[in-house]
Structure 1
Amino acid sequence: MSISPLLFKALRNLETLNSWQTQIPIQWKNKKKQFTWNDSWKDVTPWYVSFFLLVILHTFFGSLGIIGYMRMVPQTDKFALVVRLRCMYSVLGSFLGIIIAIVICFDGKDYIEFINRIITFDQHATAELRRLEVKPVEKFDPFANAMYLVVLLLSIIPPVYCIPPVIHGHTVLQYIVHQIYPNFMKKIGFRLMIKIVNYFVMLVSVTEIFRLIPLMFLSLSLPVITARNELESMDRYGKMVIKIRRLELHGSKVIPHFCAMLGIYCQGYILISIRRQISAGHDFIVFVVSITLSVVANYFTIVLYPIVPQNVYPAFPTVAVSTITVLHLLISIAVDVVVKAKEFTVEWGKLVPVRNRYLAKKFRALRPFQIVFGVYDFPLVVFSRSLKIKTYQTIWDYTINTALTWPLSLFQK
């Protein structure tokens, strides 16, 4: 029985909890925010735990494989130093992952709440805080976010590095047998049995590692949401400083320069929030493409063994993951490039004289694309296309505004 549907369900629950509509209700007692757990968390928590435990399992197997590879590499090999450094990094990631798994098992509920409070921004809670005149709790915690990114990287890189050794059969089982039972290795039956067992260990390790890669790639959306929350807190200060800028403080270069930099952060905040706009259907497409590319990479690493040098094998999973990243980015742009047409067509219709209402109606029927070029939210060129469901900023607005505000901030007077 394949474990992929189980992982996919866990991934979907993970994505749901990281949406803008948080699953944690808020109760107000004496104007203090208290988190309570509803019934949905009871169903989702096992999926969180199983997802993280699978990550730790893959990392552990990957470290075993690369430790065996480190033992089998000759000391005179010119790549021995690089291999040993990779091994040390993998072992470090494995031990750190095991510690995280223990923490999740014993206190998973609080750990999940901690992650959710970092990566989730709830608009309804903020509105309620403002209504009750309570100062909102800022999510800007660079230390916690930095630690989360480090843990995530330590969980991703070791499995990728361990793919070459397990493909060649350099597992810890082979090393132990050679060291502990050297005499038995001379017997054909025992040697054949060890090779068969080692082959299955190698096959399972490679398969599970390649299954892990697309899941870990999709989980990269979590630090993106984290960065979005950090920039959202900067946006509040940006609005305040822009008001100060309107006072036209002559002779001061600090305030305008600071305002221009905050404008860049605000555009970055909008750009980072693009990850939330991908629907479940697009996530499923990326998931399928990720698994397909992983299988193709696995196939080439085995088939091209006599042709490709051994030290080139890490390039295969790297190319696979890079391709997945590019595809994910292209899908994000394709989803967000057709946006915000309803307001544009309405405003354009207002500009058309009354005698040309028929022309305005025909124009709305064209549903053009929406592309905005502007600086500091002042559009210079606008094209749009009608969209009935929701309206969003376009990817062009983010990139062009950021590109234009950066040089303006340097020459601000």
Structure 2
Amino acid sequence: MSRHPYDPPVPSALVLTMGLLLAVFHPLATAQDLEDADLTLPEWDASEWRQQAIEAAPPLAGGLLPSLGEAAAAPATVNDELQLRFQDAPPQFDIEALSAQLSDGRAIPWFAAVDDAPAAASATQSEPALAIELRDLTPEAVETILQWPKNDPLVDPTAELSEMEADELRRFLGYHATQARLPLRAIVTGKNHQLKDPAALTAITSAETNQLGGKPAALLIYPMGEPWRARLFLPPTALHAVSQPFLREAVEDCVAAARRTTRVESQLHDYLVQLSVRLFWIEKHLPPVVQSASPEPIEIAPPLAEVGSGDERPATVTFVPWNFLVTQWRTALAWVIGLLAAAGILMWAISVRRRSRARHLRTHVWMLPEVDSTPRLGGAFSGGAGFQTSW
């Protein structure tokens, strides 16, 4: 085959050079690919994840809270909920949950400490005091109660309430006094305090001492943290206007309302609110007030009568009256005697009936009557039979 005169010459030297380079560098490229395939994936350290999370995390609450860099730098001084957790994946931030926590302050450490402090204190104060731990009110406290302003519905001789809580309860009791015929006066004592001295109790519960707005008031002696030991005193008119079971139920409802919460200040508030409602119920049973034109002689009002609860409740409220027991016992005995008499009469009637029947069977014999029948076929030779056979 001959080459055309106008075809360009083939660069044989260039072809040989390219083939030589391919033969030299091809084994090197194949070895490099095999080496890259055998390499392991990079292993990330927790410190690297921490640094990446710090750089990528947005500022909390617009920069009001400590940044995540500070939280990661000093994790021992930050709340556990704000510490970063590093596993085998980058951290995930729940923006909705964090926003909900920021809205009520639960993500801020100092708000959590303030919120948990009353609960811890109430847990220790809500435990019942032992009998050996109870202490009588000191003479100074009793004197403070007697010298307390007469128009103040809240008496706190040992400063058990804060000023804000005391003012709130005073406003509530004052409003109750303006709307009710039976105002309410509360004496707040310590958890382990009790009032056992008869002379001091008589002086404190006298009608002259418990007057609010010219009206006889109900008196409540309330030990903080122990609503079941509260003692309620009512004027005789209110005490005799309703039944003892009604008063006992009222006291039990007040105690139940107070025990729904563990905070001692809230227990006192709930107790007073429930007692205020019950006093309004008692007012419906009071006799109407009669306005007299002629002045009447002033008489000394009798002292208040107690309607206590728990260990302080009087026997007339705790136990059933004796006359009631006698009446119920007589009724039950009459029913028992009547049932026994009816059962005895029934058994006697059955026995008489059985004896009469046995006697009747022994003296009487039952026989069927003999009926004469006329033979229809044959005569005497057939013995009166109705058929005969012959061979």
Please, what TM-score do these two structures have when normalized by structure 2? 0.18
Between the two structures, name the one with larger relative contact order (CA 8 Å, sep ≥ 6). 1
Q: Which structure has more helix as a fraction of its residues?
A: 1
